[in-house]
A and B are shown apart, each in its own frame.
Chain A
Amino acid sequence: MVDVMGSAPAEEQGRLLQEAGNAVKRNAFFMKKAMDEDNLREALRYSATLLGELRTPALTPQRYFELYMQAFNELTHLQAFFREERRKGRSYADLYELVQHAGNVLPRLYLLCTVGSCYIRSKEAPARSVLKDLVEMCKGVQHPVRGLFLRSYLCQVSRGLLPDVGSEFEGDGGSISDAIEFLLINFTEMNKLWVRMQHQGATKDRERREQERQQLADLVGRNLTYVSQLDGLDFALYQEGVLARVMDQIVSCKDAIAQQYLMQCVIQGFPDDFHLGTLDTLLGILPNLQPGVQIHVIVSSLLDRLARFAASDKAVVETFNQVDAFGKLTRAAAKVTEQEGQVPAGDVVAMHAALLGFTGAVYPDRLDLVNKVLTSAFQALEKQAPITDVKAEKQLVQLLSTPLDKYDVVTVLELANYPSVMSLLRPAKYKEMAVKICSTVLRQRTLVGSMEKVEMLLDFISPLVKDTEGLEDDEDFFEEEQNLLARLVHQLVSADTDEHFELLRAARERFNAGGAKRLRHTLPPLAFAALRLVRQIKEGDGDSKKIDGSCKTVLQWILGVAAQLAEVPAAEIALQLYLQTAHAASEVARLELIAYESLEQAFVLYEEAIPDSKAEVTALQSIVGVLHRCRVFTPESRDTLVHKATGYSAKLLKKPDQCRAVCACSHLFWQEAAPEEEGAEVPEGVQPPVRDSDNVMVCLKRALKIANSAQQQLAVALKGDHTTPVMLFVDILNHYLFYFEQGNPSITTSVLQSLLELVANEMANDNCQNDAALLAFYNSTRNHIAIQKEKGDDLAQKFSSLQL
């Protein structure tokens, strides 16, 4: 089977081109020689032979183009020669006939075009007639590649010779409609040839052929470009004379590649306002295109152009409205999807994405239109749900993201069809989208402040809130997703505290469905948000008409959350939460009972649920810290709690931990008044600060004892060189100094002095001297004393007697 396109194998191409090129050069040489000798006949003969090289069927389009360019350059000499002949008195009419004596059609037509261009330029014949003749005669070449190049040559040499408005060839030479006619006929013929390429040759070469066709596309498109560049082309001409015919050709050629390219050509080639005026035609054509045409790409580029047009000139938007651009575009999109039956989902989505972009650009504040687009997208895709095509999915996510970027999320939440479009996604993508929404909310710092919107938002992001059927949570991302969700809780804010509380409650309701593994992440932020709410209520920022005993209710609710958290189980977090609640109850709300309850629960958790000694230490430190600051307790309840805390301290496993905990506990007996309370009455509901110097002393002494026994224990364990006990001593010394400065009567100068000496002795040890951290600690302690001495106030007086 002979390949119709006939091109030789790739390795041959170079050689063939070389040979043909040489032949062109050789004949060009003789042609020029004949020109010099003023021998017209011979010049024509050699030029025809030269052009005969273009008859080769063996070259690929790319190589053929190279050969064509060579021949093209030689033909410019021929043009000059023809002009010279004319000067010598030979008429162009004569020449025009003479070149047609050439026996082979391809060289003949190249020559004819060459003379023709001179003929028009001379104005000896009307441009119109010559152009018409040329474009018709070129039909003699029906070979696609050769024909395309021939017509491309015709198009090129006649450029600037068209009877365009304002051109010197207008008038006798014809009118703009002749120019359009010429270009359109040439375009039509070229397109036919171009399309024909597709159907020639073996099926196996199809891919290569399509590639070659792409390479030739611009030759065809150039005709349209030239039409668009005609000065006299106005809208009426375009609509009546150009578009209709181009569209006709596009549809009738029934070739996907051509349709794709030419639609783009039209859209990119002609002015925006033309498109606006001919939207009906442009869009009406879409359902008639071949199945392989990526209509969304066409629609997208049209939309992009119109969007840019609208952006460039606000006045245009009015015109958009007049022609109902939006409605037409939406309907067109819908129609395309309906008509074709199963349009690939990706295309549908991409088209709607473009539509959305257009809407955003032209009507930035018309949310209803955005919703319409989404509705249309949903309707188009409903049947194909869920979208399984990966690419389509990606594009759908893109589509859904566009409004998120353009408007804030709260606005998007008003789009009724947003979730329905989202539901088209498969679970994994749906979740991805949920993550995206969350991120956007957080990035834009959008506050979601109404019940309705919160519900909506949580609907949107439900894959994060709860398990999705058929979707395994990805361990790697789970934490991250839940973190997002946790952060999102803080965006659920209303200026109205009642409402705010309602939002949190609603969120909790939702979160409950998420199971333990989510609650671990989602409950704490809820509680903390509630705690902040408590502060707000107390500070009177919010208006709390509705919540009865507002703070109490909120705190109770938080306790509930904490309890739930404890059951998750997440004891450590729950414990911290109890403590925070206790602190808030005590220091913000002044509700002793709740504070007590919170601490009690914290102790219970401490006893029952803290897993290891390290966690115990941390927990205990936190308990002590909170308890220290709570001022709401009556002495009795405080005793109980403090007793419990000191008891736990002494029961810690490791001596250093014990020692430090006991030191910390000493502070439970020595509260400081808040600065603003200085000298004032103790506020209502608050107990005066506890100042129990004896118990402080008891604690500190016990700490010293423990430190001592820790030292002995290490010695027994033959770990005498450990510096930890000394560290403890310095630690204790610091506590002593603190109380000394606080004016605790039990800490006298002599007590302190002896401790100082003790520590100094310990520090003399070589091991201690080598421990940089310890040394630094010790030295800064000493420095502190020295500085206090220098201060020259009452305290300095007290310090002055200390000997370092």
Chain B
Amino acid sequence: MQKWFGNLGQTVPIQLEFRRKDGQPVKNATVKVKGLGTEQLPLFNNKDSIYGEIKVSNIPGKKFEHQGIKVQLLGQIELASERGHPHDFLSLVRDLSPPGDLVQQEKYSFEFNDVEMQYDSYRGLQVRLRYILRVTVSKGYGGSVKDFPFWVRNFEPLAPPATGPPIKASVGSMLRLPQSGTLHPVAACGGASAVAPGTSMTMRWRVGIEECLHIEFEYDKAKYHLKDTVVGKIYFLLVRIKLKHMEVEIRRRETTGSGQTAHNENETLAKYEIMDGAPVRGEAIPIRLFLSPYDLTPTYKLVHNKFSVKYFLNLVLVDEEDRARTSSRQEIQLYRASDASQANGLPAAAATLIS
């Protein structure tokens, strides 16, 4: 709308340059744009101070009269369902110039110190969260407005090895677990595995079709950073159907709204075949899924009460007739580890090898 109004009046060229106080070049993030490949955006973290210089030029030879120049730092959440009406969860403003005439190119430095940007930038199917610097040159009903997007990523320290209680699977209507605990002793089926005995596989998740297929899916933790590797094992406790192959999918679920109006949108981001052929009872299939190749984000829980993004591991078993006999999902928590903390760790491959 701003644009539309802006078009009515005179516009002036506005340029903005992000700077760092120490003179280093500003870091960029590579962000996927749907259908367009990637684009580079300046990258900031929470509590970063955002500096820069704005250049506003008049049309050469013409004096430009304005009613003030300001720059806003906006954090917006925009839902597909309410397009055009983004919700600003962050709005900071700096006045750059009082009303006056622009007779030549003017440079304005601006500075937002220690900005609270607790949410990550996000582009999803039905929701996006973005940060922009908006420069407004006011002039009556007209004026010039220009947005300069930038990208925000927040880090968490590497999670300590999870030692929490096993996560119970949520079981769909077609999937029922046997009530008996006889299938429990997983270690018995384990035999020699790549996982050293000391490493606890704390996450356990059972899937099955009654009297047909009982599977236990064990994986190492509930929380992974984005360059992490999911290491796990699938135990076949009962196999009475002929399987052809098995895949792990990574699914993302965006939830907008809440309660009755909640809306979910699912997206499969990765398909990773982990087994070829039909196993028999007692087999244990190793899983090692590198997360780095996929375009994942951290898990977001109720961002500003507007939306959530959750990730799930989805196990798909396909039988001889190419029917997906069962699929079951289990949420995993994703977080972004700071580069520094990742660097402290071993390279992923080496780490998995040694485990």
In the complex, which residue of chain B has the Cβ closest to the Cβ of A150? B276
B155 adjacent to chain A (CB < 8 Å):
no
- Chain A positions 115 through 155: 1 when the CB is less than 8 Å from some CB of chain B, otherwise 0: 00000000001000110110011011111101100000000
Question: How many of B's residues come within 8 Å of A, CB to CB?
Answer: 31
Q: Is the CB of B275 within 8 A of A105?
A: yes
Q: Is the CB of B353 within 8 A of A137?
A: no
Q: Please choose the segment from B12-20, B39-47, B284-292, B298-306 that sits at the chain A interface, where 4 or more of its residues have CB less than 8 A away.
A: B284-292
A385 adjacent to chain B (CB < 8 Å):
no
- Chain B residue contacts of A192, Cβ below 8 A: 280
- Chain A residue contacts of B193, Cβ below 8 A: 136
- Chain B positions 266 through 298: 1 when the CB is less than 8 Å from some CB of chain A, otherwise 0: 000001111111111001111010100100000
Q: How far is the CA of A752 from the CA of B283 in the complex (A)?
A: 116
Q: Is the CB of B271 within 8 A of A133?
A: no
- Chain B residue contacts of A96, Cβ below 8 A: 349, 353
- Chain B residue contacts of A142, Cβ below 8 A: 275-280, 283, 285
Best-buried of B276, B285, B350, B354 by chain A (most CB within 10 Å): B276
Q: Is the CB of B278 within 8 A of A143?
A: yes
- Chain A residue contacts of B242, Cβ below 8 A: 4
- Chain B positions 224 through 235: 1 when the CB is less than 8 Å from some CB of chain A, otherwise 0: 000000000000
In the complex, which residue of chain B has the Cβ closest to the Cβ of A141? B276
Q: Is the CB of B275 within 8 A of A140?
A: yes
In the complex, which residue of chain B has the Cβ closest to the Cβ of A98? B349
A487 adjacent to chain B (CB < 8 Å):
no
Q: Is the CB of B194 within 8 A of A137?
A: yes
A106 adjacent to chain B (CB < 8 Å):
yes
Report the minimal beta-carbon distance from A248 to chain B, rounded to whole angstroms. 12
B320 adjacent to chain A (CB < 8 Å):
yes
Q: Is the CB of A129 within 8 A of B353?
A: yes
B192 adjacent to chain A (CB < 8 Å):
yes
Report the minimal beta-carbon distance from B7 to chain A, rounded to whole angstroms. 44
In the complex, which residue of chain B has the Cβ closest to the Cβ of A137? B286
Q: Is the CB of A139 within 8 A of B349?
A: no
- The answer, among B277, B286, B288, for a CB contact under 8 Å with A144, is B277
Report the minimal beta-carbon distance from B237 to chain A, rounded to whole angstroms. 15
- The answer, among A55, A125, A132, A136, for a CB contact under 8 Å with B276, is A55
Q: Is the CB of B350 within 8 A of A125?
A: yes
B92 adjacent to chain A (CB < 8 Å):
no
Q: Is the CB of B286 within 8 A of A140?
A: yes
- Chain A residue contacts of B194, Cβ below 8 A: 132-133, 136-137
B321 adjacent to chain A (CB < 8 Å):
yes
Interface residue ranges of B237-285 to A (CB < 8 Å) = 242, 245, 271-280, 283-285
B80 adjacent to chain A (CB < 8 Å):
no
- Chain B residue contacts of A93, Cβ below 8 A: 347, 349-350, 353
B348 adjacent to chain A (CB < 8 Å):
yes
Known: A4-B278, A105-B274, A106-B276. A139 touches B353 (CB 8 A): no
- Chain A residue contacts of B321, Cβ below 8 A: 2
Main secondary structure of the interface of B (DSSP, over half): mixed
Q: How many A-B residue pairs have CB under 8 A?
A: 85
In the complex, which residue of chain A has the Cβ closest to the Cβ of B293? A101
In the complex, which residue of chain B has the Cβ closest to the Cβ of A104? B273
A795 adjacent to chain B (CB < 8 Å):
no
- Chain B residue contacts of A55, Cβ below 8 A: 276
A629 adjacent to chain B (CB < 8 Å):
no
Known: A2-B320, A133-B353, A139-B285. A100 touches B192 (CB 8 A): no
Q: How far is the CA of A2 from the CA of B350 in the complex (A)?
A: 42
In the complex, which residue of chain B has the Cβ closest to the Cβ of A181? B192
Q: How far is the CA of A106 from the CA of B244 in the complex (A)?
A: 13
Interface residue ranges of A160-187 to B (CB < 8 Å) = 181, 185
Q: Is the CB of B286 within 8 A of A139?
A: yes
Q: How far is the CA of A139 from the CA of B293 in the complex (A)?
A: 23
- Chain A residue contacts of B280, Cβ below 8 A: 142, 192, 196
Known: A103-B272, A142-B277, A143-B278. A129 touches B354 (CB 8 A): yes
- Chain A residue contacts of B278, Cβ below 8 A: 4, 142-143, 200
Q: Is the CB of A105 within 8 A of B349?
A: no
Q: Is the CB of B277 within 8 A of A137?
A: no
- Chain B residue contacts of A137, Cβ below 8 A: 194, 286, 288
- Chain A residue contacts of B285, Cβ below 8 A: 139-140, 142
Q: Is the CB of B284 within 8 A of A97?
A: no
Q: Is the CB of B192 within 8 A of A136?
A: yes
Q: Is the CB of B273 within 8 A of A105?
A: yes
Q: Is the CB of B271 within 8 A of A100?
A: no
Q: List 28 A-B contacts (CB under 8 A).
A: A91-B347, A93-B350, A94-B347, A97-B290, A97-B347, A100-B290, A101-B293, A103-B273, A104-B273, A105-B245, A106-B276, A125-B350, A130-B353, A136-B192, A136-B286, A137-B286, A139-B286, A140-B274, A140-B285, A140-B286, A142-B277, A142-B279, A142-B283, A142-B285, A143-B276, A143-B277, A143-B278, A196-B280
Q: Chain A residues in contact with chain B, CB under 8 A?
A: 2, 4, 55, 91, 93-94, 96-97, 100-101, 103-106, 108, 125, 129-130, 132-133, 136-137, 139-144, 146-147, 181, 185, 192, 196, 200
A-B pairs, 7 with minimum CB distance: A143-B277, A97-B349, A142-B277, A136-B194, A142-B279, A105-B273, A96-B349
Q: Chain B residues in contact with chain A, CB under 8 A?
A: 192-194, 242, 245, 271-280, 283-286, 288, 290, 293, 320-321, 347-350, 352-354
Given contacts A136-B192, A142-B276, 17 further A-B contacts (CB under 8 A): A96-B349, A97-B347, A100-B290, A101-B290, A103-B272, A106-B276, A125-B350, A132-B194, A133-B353, A137-B286, A141-B277, A143-B276, A143-B277, A143-B278, A144-B277, A147-B276, A192-B280
